[in-house]
């Protein structure tokens, strides 16, 4: 294999897993596992799948799910902060939960809230829940997330983490064709070290990163 890792510039990767539909490669530098870029869906196919997601602010189960990131974030930020929910999807809910607690939250989503103006500001916190695994160009999108966070501010992520090849082979998470970038603890530790962040793993799929002050 000689293709560039979509997250870091490394050209070294190994075949991590193969199933009926796709091959998955692992970068040996940042440990990102990524689906073969040749098997990506078109934007139209992608959007059609997201529109079937029935996440809504009226769904208590969805609120409980999001609370896994909301609670630890609220415990770390002062009152009345300015945030951005990046990848809010068709039924923004996390933003309402944080606004109920006195914060203000702008919305961005390439399909459902394509408001590029909000990407020109910087924020006390940026949330990105169940979105980073959809990133086709995670290196570029990671850079964008970092630029949106003020020094001392927080990046609050939710994504399920890769454990090992054996667990991956049985993992339903990889079967969603819109999931293309699979992060692990090692990947977040690599990024935190490279980019000047403190990383805190909260539970299995919640990652809080704080941008260091100069």
The binding site for Zn ion (CB under 5 A) comprises 5, 7-8, 10, 27, 29-30
CB of 162 to Zn ion, least distance (A): 13
CB of 204 to Zn ion, least distance (A): 22
Candidates 178, 137, 148; CA nearest to 8 is 137
- CA dist 129 and 156 (Å) reads 8
Q: For Zn ion, which is the closer residue by CB, 8 or 70?
A: 8
CB of 29 to Zn ion, least distance (A): 5
CA dihedral 86, 93, 208, 83 (to 10 degrees): 60
Q: For Zn ion, which is the closer residue by CB, 127 or 184?
A: 184
Sheet holding 82-86, edge to edge: 104-108, 82-86, 123-129, 149-158, 206-211, 197-202
CB of 13 to Zn ion, least distance (A): 7
Q: For Zn ion, which is the closer residue by CB, 66 or 132?
A: 132
List, as one string, the DSSP characters of 40-72. PPPHHHHHHHHHH----TT-HHHHHHHHHHHHH
Q: For Zn ion, which is the closer residue by CB, 55 or 187?
A: 187
């Amino acid at each position: 294999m000689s293709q560039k890792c979509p997250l870091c510039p490394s050209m070294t990767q190994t075949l991590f897993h193969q199933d009926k539909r796709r091959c998955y490669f692992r970068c040996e530098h940042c440990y990102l596992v990524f689906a073969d870029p040749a098997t990506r869906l078109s934007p139209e196919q992608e959007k059609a799948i997201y529109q079937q997601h029935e996440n809504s602010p009226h769904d208590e189960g969805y609120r409980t799910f999001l609370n896994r990131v909301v609670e630890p974030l609220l415990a770390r930020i002062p009152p009345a902060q300015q945030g951005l929910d990046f990848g809010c999807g068709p039924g923004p809910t996390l933003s309402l939960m944080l606004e109920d607690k006195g914060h203000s939250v702008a919305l961005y989503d390439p399909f459902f809230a394509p408001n590029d103006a909000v990407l020109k500001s910087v924020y006390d916190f940026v949330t990105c829940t169940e979105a980073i695994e959809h990133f086709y160009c995670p290196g570029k999108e990671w850079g964008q997330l970092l630029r949106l966070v003020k020094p001392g501010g927080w990046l609050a992520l939710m994504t399920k983490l890769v454990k090992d090849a054996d667990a991956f082979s049985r993992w339903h998470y990889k079967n969603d064709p819109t999931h293309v970038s699979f992060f692990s603890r090692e990947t977040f530790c690599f990024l935190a070290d490279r980019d000047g962040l403190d990383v805190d793993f909260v539970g299995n799929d919640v990652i809080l990163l704080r941008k260091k002050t100069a």
